[in-house]
Amino acid sequence: MIGAQTASFFSGQENHLWEPHQLGGFQVYSLKDLILLNRLNPLKNTINNFFLFIAAVVLLTLSTACTDSEKRRDPGYTVIEPTLMDLSTTVSTSGSISPLFNVQVRSEVSGRIEKIHVEAGDQVERGDLLLQLESETFEAEKELAVIRIETSQLRLNRAEREFNRKKRLYENELISEEEFESAETNYLLSRNEFRSAEKDLVAARDRIRQTRITAPFSGTVLRVPVTEGEVVTGASSVSTGDNLVNLADLEQMLISTHVSQGDIDRIDPSREVEVIVDGADRRRSKANIQRISPLATVEDRVRGFTVELILRDPEGRTRPGMTATLHFPIEEVNEAITLPLVAIQVDGLETFVEVLNGAGEIVTQPVQIGINDQDRVEIREGLSPDSQVVLRSAPTRTKR
């Protein structure tokens, strides 16, 4: 590299005739200028020839360095190779989560709440006590039933003795048929009265037992909408009764989603569905399709079908009311040659990518594509795993 001072050395006082120009950020003279300077100073040819040679070498080195620098700059594209990977295409929807087993525990008898033994969030086992109703009224009914049984037992015993005595007399023709039938009828009525008293005692005991509200299955208490001292109505044929406890099994959840009519026939009910629970950790799990509604409905202006799935969560981390993203598997390939979707270009009916040929030139290469997962696409024909694919910063549709 020869700067302004070197040129001044060659040309003496005439260096003002040649102005330096910019190259790679330096002020330099061209090789032509240096030759001309040498001719204008014949007395210094020997020295000038030496410096002219040095200048040529330096200029050539500078030019090569600048060219390499330009090559290292971003040319507006990157070169990538296809990736071998498993690829699948899915139908994605969102769904709401609720417990598969979710009941409102109600009392079979009316009464005042004496004690509440659980609160929201408690884990209970089947048969655990949830609430206790006051049982004094039913205890009194039980005592009356016991007295009725004792009384009816005495009457039955007396009627039975009388019936057996009259029966022997009637068989010996010592009493009339009318007297015998009267004794028999009295015996049968006493027996029926005793049996009725026994049933009243059983019913009284049942009502006492029903004042203990227990868990119908193992699960989690979601809500207790009543308070101690409150009078509640029991369920009957004419009343549904008051809800006492909301109980759910959180290990088995029901996911309800809506699939458009254009996708419903692509879904295979026998295949597992990937579920991503919307939350901080975006948990992934699998669910099984339980039911596909036979009747189309409209949701968010989309006509489709309700699909229900069962999600098993032994840890119980999925909570009622959460939402989830579902991916229904449609098609999948293993060890496919794949590219990013942005690498694919379309010109009319032709699909192609840009590649580097053996000479390092960018050329177009027609390809046949397959399935995609919204990020990468399968290349079925046209590329090999070691192809050099051009990925432009700003995609182009110009074919070369």
- The answer to whether 326 touches 309, Cβ cutoff 8 Å, is yes
Contact residues for 327 (Cβ-Cβ < 8 A; gap 6+): 90, 91, 92, 273, 274, 276
Cα(6)–Cα(332) distance, rounded to whole angstroms? 71
Per-residue model confidence (pLDDT) at position 360: 87
Task: Name the amino acid, one letter, at 64.
Answer: T
Q: Cα-flanking dihedrals φ and ψ of residue 326, to 5°?
A: -115, 140
Contacts of 16 (CB under 8 A, 6+ apart): none
Task: Give yes or no for residue 1 having a pLDDT over 90.
Answer: no
Average pLDDT, the chain: 83
| Angle between helices 31-39 and 4-11 in degrees, nearest 10 | 20
* Residue 68 scores a pLDDT above 70: no
Distance in angstroms (rounded) separating the CA atoms of residues 263 and 89: 12
Give the three-class secondary structure for 130. strand
**284 vs 11, higher pLDDT:** 284
Q: What domains can be seen in the chain, in order of their start residue?
A: 4-72 (no CATH), 78-84+335-392 (2.40.420.20), 105-240 (no CATH), 244-333 (2.40.30.170)
Whole-angstrom distance, CA of residue 308 vs CA of residue 311: 10
Using a 10 angstrom Cβ sphere, with 0-12 exposed, 13-18 middle and 19 or more buried, the burial of residue 239 is: exposed
Tens digit of pLDDT for each residue in 203-238?
999 999 999 999 999 999 999 999 999 999 998 866
71-113: per-residue pLDDT in tens?
444 567 899 999 999 988 889 999 999 999 999 999 999 999 9
Per-residue pLDDT tens over the stretch 283-295: 889 999 999 999 9
The answer to whether residues 117 and 217 touch, using CB atoms and an 8 Å cutoff, is no
Share above pLDDT 70 across residues of the chain, in percent, rounded to a whole number? 79
